[in-house]
Structure 1
Amino acid sequence: MSDTHQQSIGYVRDSMLPETAPPLGEAGAIKWARANLFSSVANGILTLVALFTIYLLISAVLPWILNGIWEAPSIRACREILDGATGGCFAVLTERWNQLLFGFKYPSDIYWRPTLAFVLLFVAIAPVLFRKVFPAQMLVFTALYPFVAYYLIWGGSILIPIFALLGFVVGYLVYSRFVAQSFAAGFFGGIVAALLFWYVTGFLPVEGILALEEVPSRDMGGFMLNLILGTVCVSLSIPFGIALALGRQSDMPIIKWICVVFIEFIRGVPLITLLFVANVVLAYFLPPGTNFDLILRVIIMITMFASAYIAEVIRGGLAALPNGQYEAGDSLGLDYAQKMRLIILPQALKISIPGIVNVAVGLFKDTTLVSVISMFDLVGMIRGPILASTEWNGVYWELLSFAALLFFVVCYGISQYSQWLERELQTDHR
């Protein structure tokens, strides 16, 4: 018996052999290239064609960039310096950078004001975007930032943004007073109180009190105008889109049909049509002599347009939640506002992040459409005053590439943040 047992165990090793390196074709760059680029004959042919295409693009673009002229008074001077060689006339960027960024009418001696407002924007959005990193006390500055930015960019008396801020404070106090009795009463009561406060303070004299040099909206342009429209409209369209999505699912027929008609009408009309309405048609519905700021009119129309699309994105997130989530809120004894704020909306917004970001990126790029209503944003400056000048008539690729680069940086940053946020909010382990 013991002999049989000993023969069944032919050999038992009591020490490990040293590890050997894997075959060269199964590790490192060779393995990656074989698995991703040359996994089959068809993939290998496509890889070679793609590499050849990239080579052609780089060989054509790289000399244009490296041989570029950065100092010249006109396109003719650039061509004389190049003397037939391949190269870009980037001198237009060094000569007209201020017009590309701020427009051709914004006073050059106060460029520091919109620049400071742009820097403070990152301070304001930091606690919102990265709430785990920055202290919650910074949200106070986030709430104050819109009024600070208005004061810096537009100028005028400091009492104008202060009265605007106090109107929101009065509206919130009225809302908090009546919301316990009825959410609708508190919400509409707050709106009425804020409007009444602004109407009364509109008759008060505010001229000359800690006033900065006032800049009319018509004097604003360049990429600064695109940033103003994009930032304001995206910030406003998200809460309005949430309200429209909830209103479309409301049990109250009037509220529901108002939201349905608004969403379907706005989504069925091109944005450029709404911009023409803001620029021309809207003035016919205002009393004679009324001066309704053009940028404000454009902000209203773009916000309405984006809100309708975001409402449908959020409605999709709400529809994706199982009925058990709504029933859970009812079983806990929560009212409608508490159930939406604590249970439903956090989950629906998490699901809707890709769609919301898609609308935000598209909206920021669509701000260039304001150039068709004679507003000199970045594209409007390129198509208008710069290319119309005799010095730079004919410089296209350099200017449009610069515009594309600015928009790419902003849109790519938004996209990367959304992907990071999705990873941060990922709770399931797959």
Structure 2
Amino acid sequence: MVDMSSHYVRSQMLAQEAPPSNTTGLGAWLRQNLFATPKDAVLTILALLVLAWLIPDAVNWLFIKAVWSGADRTVCATTEQVGGIQPAGWSGACWAFVQSRFSMFIFGRYPLEERWRPILVGVMLVALLVPMLIPKVPRKGLNAALLFVIFPIVAFYLLLGGVFGLSHVETANWGGLMVTLILSFVGIAVSLPAGILLALGRRSKMPVIKTLCIIFIEVIRGVPLITVLFMASVMLPLFLPAGVNFDKFLRALVGVSIFAAAYMAEVIRGGLQAIPKGQYEGADSLGLGYWQKIRLIILPQAIKLVIPGIVNTFIGMFKDTSLVMIIGMFDLLGIINQSFSDASWATPVTPVTGLIFAGFMYWLFCFGMSRYSAFMERHLDTGHKR
């Protein structure tokens, strides 16, 4: 009998062939993303025409005609003069104004000789935050303890002073980007765990706890942040005993934190409701207690599902910190608006330049949070990987 298997079974694999030329490269990307259909092609062409119309003037105003250095408004007032008397036209962006006021935009009225303290706090924050955000860096527990427990205490005494020979700096002198970052960091650090507890409380089977959590969440979410800040800044002292008072900045921190916590609770609750009932039953079958079940089984899955919602809440809170200007605190946007009243820089282009700078700074931080959110989604998306 003749063995015919050798005629049909391949003993060597074929060499891998290159993909079709029309599926790779710049041309393929353009066809797939910009010119896939006639409608996409029309929209792409219209968008390119709009950009071609807007970008040259924007680049010309922002960079080419812009003034980059100078001591006062005279450098930004005009591009040239006719006969040395009549101005011929306004200049481009007045980046000299931003350069002159840059330190104030970052630190507010914090004393110049003491600004090494917020700089040191910023370096400590970066040194602790970066390892926390990189998944492969070990000892996350120690890192979290240093970042969320030790660091706030050290930063508080460094910034406020009054101890260890440091001069006292009142919070009324704090301002600029420093205040924005402090409000955001505290709000994020407080709102996430508080939101988790509120979400668990709202789903609790104990009527008292459930009712209290529902009332807190619905009341806070039912009013704007400005109302919460006014309550914390103006009305709270009226309910305190005589002689008892809290710093205005601390009241703003509390107001922003509880407002963000109410919204965070609903985001977390959405993740908890998305977990299949079988996960709860499986945890119960293993004999796990309530907190073990939540900590080890339910909460990790729920948080992974709602990462976009969590980061969206953080981004909204970061931008909403500008509302503290209403209660007399000057964050980044507030200190820039206050600088517009300086007569030495009073030109038509100064406010626009300052607001563009503020918008760019807000976009920089918000875009960074958005990109990190996308990175974490890809890193944790293990459910459909092969």
Q: TM-score range by the shorter chain?
A: 0.7 to 0.9
Shift of 1:387: 0.7
Partner of 2:295: 341
State the Cα distance separating 1:43 from its structure 2 match: 2.4
CA shift in 2, pair 1:140/1:313, >3 Å: closer
Moved more, 356-365 or 141-150: 141-150
Aligned length: 359
- Matched to 1:256, the amino acid is K
Deviations 1:205-258 (A, max 9, x none): xxxxx2311111111111111110011011100000000001111111111100
SS in structure 2 at match of 1:250: coil
Residue 36 of structure 1: CA displacement? Answer: 2.9
In the TM superposition, residue 81 of structure 1 has moved relative to its aligned partner by 5.0
Check 1:298–1:52 CA distance in 2 against 1; reply closer, same or farther (3 A cut): same
Corresponding residue for residue 407 of structure 1? 362
**Residue segments in structure 2 that go unaligned for 5+ positions in a row:** 1-13, 82-88
Displacement of 1:20: 10
Please give the alpha-carbon distance, in whole angstroms, between the structure 2 residues aligned to 1:424 and 1:26: 27
Identify the residue that residue 96 of structure 1 maps to in structure 2. Answer: 101
Partner of 2:234: 280
User: What are the equivalent positions in structure 2 for 1:314-353 lying under 5 Å apart?
Assistant: 314-353=268-307
C-alpha change, 1:39 and 1:325, in structure 2 (3 Å) is closer
Residue of 145, 151, 159 corresponding to 1:153: 159
CA distance in 2, matches of 1:269, 1:26: 53
Match of 1:107 among 88, 107, 111: 111
- Kindly name which structure, 1 or 2, has the bigger radius of gyration based on alpha carbons: 1
Q: CA RMSD in A?
A: 2.1
1:61 alignment partner in structure 2: 58
Percent identical: 45
Contact 1:68 1:90 in 2 (8 A): yes
The alpha-carbon distance between structure 1 residues 274 and 237, as it changes in their structure 2 partners (threshold 3 A), is: same
Q: Determine helix, strand or coil for the equivalent of 1:396.
A: helix
2:142 corresponds to 1:132: no
2:146 to 141, 160, 168: 141
User: Aligned-pair distance for 1:130?
Assistant: 2.2
The aligned counterpart of 1:236 is 190
- Equivalent residue letter for 1:352: V
Q: Which runs of 5+ in 1 are unaligned?
A: 1-15, 158-209
* Pairing 1:397–2:352 present: yes
Give the drift of 1:22: 6.0
Cα deviation 1:356-410 (Å, max 9, x = unaligned): 11100000000000111111111111222x1111112331121011111111111
Residues 415/21 of structure 1: CA separation in 2 closer, same or farther (3 Å cut): closer
Equivalence for 1:388:
341
Q: TM-score, normalised by structure 1?
A: 0.79
1:18-417 superposed matches below 5 A: 28-64=25-61, 65-81=63-79, 83=81, 84=89, 86-103=91-108, 105-136=109-140, 137-142=142-147, 143-157=149-163, 210-384=164-338, 386-393=339-346, 394=348, 395-417=350-372
CA distance in 1, matches of 2:136, 2:55: 42
Paired residue for 2:9? none
- Deviation per CA, 1:33-56: give whole Å up to 9, x if none: 333323333322222211111112
SS at match of 2:168: coil
Q: Which residue of 2 aligns with 1:192?
A: none
- Deviations along 1:49-78, whole A, 9 cap, x unmatched? 111111122111111112211222222332
